[in-house]
């Protein structure tokens, strides 16, 4: 059962309800849970936890949004990207994965590691590993994609590799406009600069995104950063231009 809002927002609603009606917080939490179709808050929380980070993140993404998912190598950002695709397909939507790193066999192996069979999703899943991946190519492949399709690009910096491609800022703006127009969800995996030091900061943030050329990072609606097996979600609600 899909929640009407992220768990943290439902908790906030319960706190407001508790204050407004002068009732204990646990009673307000249960009322909110009943409104979501659960008999108690404990059952709602347990169900939310069952879906793991991927399920909770998909619950927070809206059609038309761009997500930046960043981490240093080996932290699991590509696997989480594939988990998001799988979660979306389990809910009946389509998933596309654009990459130069993974082959069909790699994806099948990762799907098995996630406990699912690649063949189970049939035509709902597509893998594109073309050397020509850029914004125009992605938009062309998604020309008939239905609303709610979840797209993962592995990775943001890939769009900036070829000199004959348009500037990265132009490509991301084009993809943002297309995503909003068509009601898709687009996830950009991102490299993190080597200067990021986990000893001084628990998670990387927008200031740590590795970009050889300038890009307005507020083009992304949501952010997700990984480190040491933990996940931090956020909103790219402040203006920052990185790179250059």
Q: How far apart are CA 231 and CA 90, in angstroms?
A: 22
Tell whether 71 and 183 lie within a shared domain. yes
Beta strand segments in the chain, E: 66-70, 95-99, 125-128, 150-154, 185-190, 215-216, 222-227, 230-235, 241-242
Over 50: is that where the pLDDT of 231 sits? yes
Does 244 fall in a domain?
no
Could you list the residue range(s) of the whole structural domain that residue 231 is in? 52-238
The reported pLDDT for the residue numbered 241 is 39
Tell whether 40 and 138 lie within a shared domain. no
The reported pLDDT for the residue numbered 50 is 58
Over 90: is that where the pLDDT of 15 sits? no
Does 117 fall in a domain?
yes
If phi > 0 it is left, if psi is from -120 to 50 it is alpha, else beta; for residue 116 that is beta
Alpha carbons within 13 A on the beta-carbon side of 121: 24
Does 126 fall in a domain?
yes
Tell whether 71 and 30 lie within a shared domain. no
Does 88 fall in a domain?
yes
Summarised one tens digit per residue, pLDDT across range 72-115 is 999 999 999 999 999 999 889 999 999 998 999 999 998 988 88
Lowest mean pLDDT among 6-20, 64-78, 86-100: 6-20
Tell whether 15 and 63 lie within a shared domain. no
The residue ranking higher by pLDDT, 54 or 223, is 223
Tell whether 24 and 82 lie within a shared domain. no
Tell whether 31 and 120 lie within a shared domain. no
Q: What's the structural domain count of the chain?
A: 2
Tokens of 64: 């038309």
Tell whether 35 and 58 lie within a shared domain. no
Q: How far apart are CA 5 and CA 72, in angstroms?
A: 30
Tell whether 59 and 19 lie within a shared domain. no
Tell whether 59 and 44 lie within a shared domain. no
Q: Judge contact between 204 and 71, C-beta under 8 A.
A: yes
Does 190 fall in a domain?
yes
Does 1 fall in a domain?
no
Q: How far apart are CA 235 and CA 244, in angstroms?
A: 23
Summarised one tens digit per residue, pLDDT across range 171-215 is 999 999 999 999 999 999 999 999 999 999 999 999 999 998 999
Over 70: is that where the pLDDT of 3 sits? yes
The reported pLDDT for the residue numbered 221 is 95
Tokens of 155: 């990775």
Q: Judge contact between 241 and 217, C-beta under 8 A.
A: yes
Over 70: is that where the pLDDT of 239 sits? no
Tell whether 106 and 26 lie within a shared domain. no
Nearest residue to 182 (alpha-carbon basis) of 190, 194, 174: 174
- What CATH number corresponds to the domain at position 198? 3.40.50.300
pLDDT band per the 50, 70, 90 thresholds, residue 54: confident
DSSP secondary structure code for residue 209 in this structure:
B
Tell whether 149 and 76 lie within a shared domain. yes
Tell whether 204 and 86 lie within a shared domain. yes
Does 83 fall in a domain?
yes
Does 122 fall in a domain?
yes
Q: Please give the radius of gyration of the chain, using alpha carbons only, rounded to the nearest integer.
A: 19
Summarised one tens digit per residue, pLDDT across range 115-170 is 888 888 999 999 999 999 999 999 999 999 999 999 999 999 999 988 899 999 99
């Amino acid at each position: 059962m899909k929640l009407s809002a992220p768990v943290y927002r439902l908790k906030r609603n319960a706190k407001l309800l508790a204050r407004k009606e002068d009732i204990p917080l646990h009673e307000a939490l249960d009322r909110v849970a009943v409104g979501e179709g659960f008999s108690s808050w404990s059952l709602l929380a347990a169900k939310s936890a069952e879906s793991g980070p991927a399920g909770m993140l998909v619950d927070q993404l809206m059609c038309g949004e761009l997500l930046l998912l960043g981490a240093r190598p080996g932290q699991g950002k590509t696997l989480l990207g594939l988990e998001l695709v799988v979660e979306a397909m389990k809910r009946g939507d389509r998933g596309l994965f654009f990459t130069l790193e993974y082959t069909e066999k790699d994806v099948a192996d990762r799907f098995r590691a996630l406990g699912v069979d690649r063949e189970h999703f049939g035509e709902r899943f597509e893998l594109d590993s073309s050397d020509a991946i850029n914004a125009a190519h992605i938009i062309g492949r998604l020309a008939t994609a239905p609303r709610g399709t979840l797209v993962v690009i592995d990775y943001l910096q890939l769009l900036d590799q070829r000199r004959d491609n348009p500037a990265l800022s132009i490509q991301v703006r084009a993809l943002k406009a297309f995503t909003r127009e068509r009601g898709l969800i687009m996830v950009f995996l991102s490299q993190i600069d080597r200067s990021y030091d986990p000893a001084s900061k628990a998670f990387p943030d927008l200031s740590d995104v590795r970009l050889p050329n300038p890009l307005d990072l507020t083009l992304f609606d949501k952010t997700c950063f990984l480190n040491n097996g933990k996940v931090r979600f956020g909103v790219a609600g402040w203006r920052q231009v990185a790179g250059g």
